[in-house]
Amino acid sequence: MNRFKLGLLVALPAVLIFSVGIIVGEEVVLFGLVLWSVFVIGIFLYADRVVLKVCDAQQILVHHNPRLIELTEEVSRRAGVPAPAVFMMPGDAPNVFSVGSTQRSSAIVFTEGLPRVLSQDEVRSAIAHELVHIYEHDSFAGSFAVGCASLLGMSTNSALAAAASTGAKGFGGIKAITAPLAALIVRFLVPPRRELRADEYGARLIGNPLAMANTIRTMEKKKHTSPLSVPPAVAHVFMVSPLPPGPIEEMFSVHPSLVERVERLDKLHQLMISSIRYLPRTSGQ
């Protein structure tokens, strides 16, 4: 589904350019398609770097935080996938996200507060959650959405700066249009259900739904006392939205509610207990 949506997002502007070009002229078609192709290639190649740059994330090695690296490798081995690179970004609130177009080029980004605040089982939960996103190609779709939204924002700022320098008027409402458009792109590429899937599959991977639920609760609680300084267009890549409640947060919100996520994990925990309880006993028992 992510690939279908990405293909649709790439194809629709090209069709629009071609349709307009038929009326205006072939030169417009050629220029528009070349410009759009450069844009798409740039997003595919550099979307991950844009996200890492916006969040001021830096790669860490074993000697920086050996336990975090060890836990990442441990959960990756359990999942049977290559261990992603590990990055750290500023922020006291525990949170995490992932980037990468393939499993071998992927990375998990932890806030500085995550290993300090969460227990080892909760850190494993956060890692497992992000490994599911990487495996399902959610991470790339999220990065692509950030790239589109960021480029849209930069284009808007450039247009406003050019209008101000020439004294042109009538551009004041551009941001009122581009912000909802950026939010629409994010909502189109990042459905809320992907977080529920990552919660469930990640909890099954480590065999501990309650640890996953506690991780989400702690992240939600700490974001109000130590909010992360990130743009709204990046909030969707995090395991829990780092934005405080407000109209902008609501516009870009793609995360299910805390209640829904915890309730589903509690039900999974009960299901797993029941499955163990009613396993058939061997003749020797």
Q: What does the H/E/C string look like for the chain?
A: CHHHHHHHHHHHHHHHHHHHHHHHCHHHHHHHHHHHHHHHHHHHHHHHHHHHHHCCCEECCCCCCHHHHHHHHHHHHHHCCCCCEEEEECCCCCCEEEECCCCCCCEEEEECCHHHHCCHHHHHHHHHHHHHHHHCCHHHHHHHHHHHHHHHHHHHHHHHHHHHHHCCCCCCCHHHHHHHHHHHHHHHHCCCHHHHHHHHHHHHHHCCHHHHHHHHHHHHHHHHHCCCCCCHHHHHHECCCCCCCCHHHHHHCCCCCHHHHHHHHHHHHHHHHHHHHCCCCCCCC
Over range 116-135, report the average pLDDT.
96
Residue 123 confidence (pLDDT) above 50: yes
More confident residue, 81 or 147: 81
User: Higher confidence at residue 142 or residue 76?
Assistant: 76
